[in-house]
Amino acid sequence: MGRLCFSKCRLGRIMGWLQIVLGGLVIIVSISSLIRFYSAGFFLRNEAICQQFYGVNDVYDGFDIKALSDRIGEVLNKMESLQEKLELKVQEMEKNKAVLLRKNITRMEYKKYLELEVIRPLYNAHIALRQIRLPRVEGIRNSTVKEEPLINSFVIEEIKKYITPKENRLGKINIYGTERIYNTIGHACVLFKKELEEYMDYDIGSYCDDDWNLAQKLMVNGCDPLPRRRCLTRASKVYQKPYSINESLWRLPDDRNVRWSNYQCRNFACLSSKNPKRGYSKCTGCFEMEKEKLKWVTNSSLPVDFLINDVLAIKPGEIRIGLDFGFGTGSFAARMREHNVTIVSTALNLGAPFNEIVALRGLIPLHVTLNQRLPFFDNTMDLIHTTGFMDGWIDLLLMDFILFDWDRILRPGGLLWIDRFFCNRKDLDDYMYMFLQFRYKKHKWAIAPKSKDEVYLSALLEKPPRAI
């Protein structure tokens, strides 16, 4: 009897201790849970709570929900527009039933209507829905469909394919030291979404549309550099062999080597300075080779006109490569080529085929805008020459960025040739400061009146060594 009582007392003490231990564990777990909730910001409605509990790989980091919603909205709008169009067409057919019964519609006409008005819009809407990309829940580190802020902003497949990061096929770090390649596209392209999608909407492997004018419009508006395309560029149907280098420098090219569809003129003769309807205003007379031949080699009454021989004599044998940042047909590069100096000429086709004529003269055109960082490495150019484009209309802050970029690519001891820069007389001090802020050595500096209120400024400046 005593042994039974002892066993019951012992069992009771064990159960009591067990309850105390379990109760303590419950209290500890409760306190730790409350601490974890508080640290995660649960009570403060912190948006990062998901990352605290589920980890980064379970969260759609950087996923643009608004862009996705906008894209779905675009597809729905297309479907709604197609439905309305078809309903109107049915109503029109019902209204003109008697006429349709008397009129015979060929199978080819019916087939063409179905392809253009029904099948193609449905196909585009279907493709647009399939192209909406979602990030994977398990993580996107090794996926070529990595979610980027711009991807769901666009509908056209070629844009999405272009801006999607491209993984290395071997799974190793590439020659650039990265795991994937990111193609560049300007942020301003999002502001011109409609125009960019029009530019990138083409059939892969077919001929590109004759849309260089649209491309240049995008560039000028800051969508620069443009994305690459997988279509075949068009050329003149009657393209002829260019002239030899001995005669091409100072001879107008063959009219048949230019596509004239986007210009007011249809030949080089039409681009004469005597024609008020030639389609461009800058660079008056630059398509007249006899006038162009006189530039930089004949004495002028204006002190702002420097001669090439005088400039090259300042650095004999040192000027070998350079950049002509201006607006013209490449005459400066042609003249410098006669002195064994290679010049790259920037050109925009603003009303006339400036890029084409520079190339057909046997010179190098660079199709860039004022917005773009020049594609040259630091301290590489012997000479930068500018005339006819960057004048007193330009904003001072923009000019500051441009001049610092020129300073970047100009080598120590290189020459900056400012040729006939003109501005309002009252603004001259501001622009003079812009050029002088780099403390270049002055070799030549001249100012001359252009009109009652405007002045010319020409200068030849040398970049200092800056040995650090």
pLDDT at 59: 40
Residue 241, judged by CB atoms within 10 A of its CB (0-12, 13-18, 19+), counts as exposed
The 8-class DSSP code of residue 170 comes to T
The closest of 444, 447, 435, 445 to 410, measured between CA atoms, is 435
The closest of 237, 282, 281 to 260, measured between CA atoms, is 237
pLDDT at 167: 87
Beta bridge partners of 444: 460
Reduced to 3 states, what is the DSSP secondary structure of residue 231?
A: coil
CA distances from 266 to 232, 259, 261, 270, 351 (A): 23, 9, 8, 7, 11
Q: Among 30-34, 240-244, 308-312, 313-317, where is mean pLDDT lowest? A: 30-34
Residue with token string 């892969």: 204
369-392 pLDDT, tens digit per residue, is 988 899 999 999 999 999 987 889
Distance (Å, whole) CA 197 – CA 211: 12
134-172 pLDDT, tens digit per residue, is 544 444 444 444 445 677 778 788 888 888 888 888 888
Evaluate if residue 439 carries a pLDDT over 90: yes
Please state, as a whole number, how many other Cβ atoms lie within 10 Å of the Cβ of residue 150.
17
Question: Across residues 206-223, what is the average pLDDT?
Answer: 92
Evaluate if residue 121 carries a pLDDT over 80: no
Question: Across residues 301-318, what is the average pLDDT?
Answer: 96
Q: Which domains does the chain have, with CATH numbers?
A: 247-462 (3.40.50.150)
Residue 2 — pLDDT band, cuts 50, 70, 90?
low
Residue 65 — pLDDT band, cuts 50, 70, 90?
low
Question: Across residues 339-363, what is the average pLDDT?
Answer: 96
Evaluate if residue 316 carries a pLDDT over 70: yes
- Tokens found for residue 196: 């960019």
Question: Across residues 97-112, what is the average pLDDT?
Answer: 71
Q: In what order do the strands lie in the sheet with 381-387?
A: 364-366, 342-346, 321-326, 381-387, 410-424, 454-462, 441-449
pLDDT at 228: 93
The closest of 434, 440, 323 to 383, measured between CA atoms, is 323
Distance (Å, whole) CA 124 – CA 362: 44
Positive or negative, the CA dihedral 184, 186, 190, 193 is negative
Positive or negative, the CA dihedral 216, 221, 225, 227 is negative
Percent of the chain with pLDDT over 70: 79
Residue 358 — pLDDT band, cuts 50, 70, 90?
very high
- Rounded to the nearest 5°, which phi and psi values hold at 161? -65, -35
Please state, as a whole number, how many other Cβ atoms lie within 10 Å of the Cβ of residue 152.
23
Distance (Å, whole) CA 410 – CA 402: 12
The chain-wide mean pLDDT, for the chain, equals: 83
Q: Which amino acid is at 53?
A: F
282-301 pLDDT, tens digit per residue, is 888 999 999 999 999 998 88
Evaluate if residue 186 carries a pLDDT over 90: no
- Rounded to the nearest 5°, which phi and psi values hold at 53? -100, -30
Evaluate if residue 101 carries a pLDDT over 80: no
Distance (Å, whole) CA 454 – CA 287: 26
Contacts of 97 (CB under 8 A, 6+ apart): none
Strands 342-346 and 364-366: parallel
Distance (Å, whole) CA 3 – CA 1: 5
Helix or strand run (H / E) with residue 197? helix 193-200
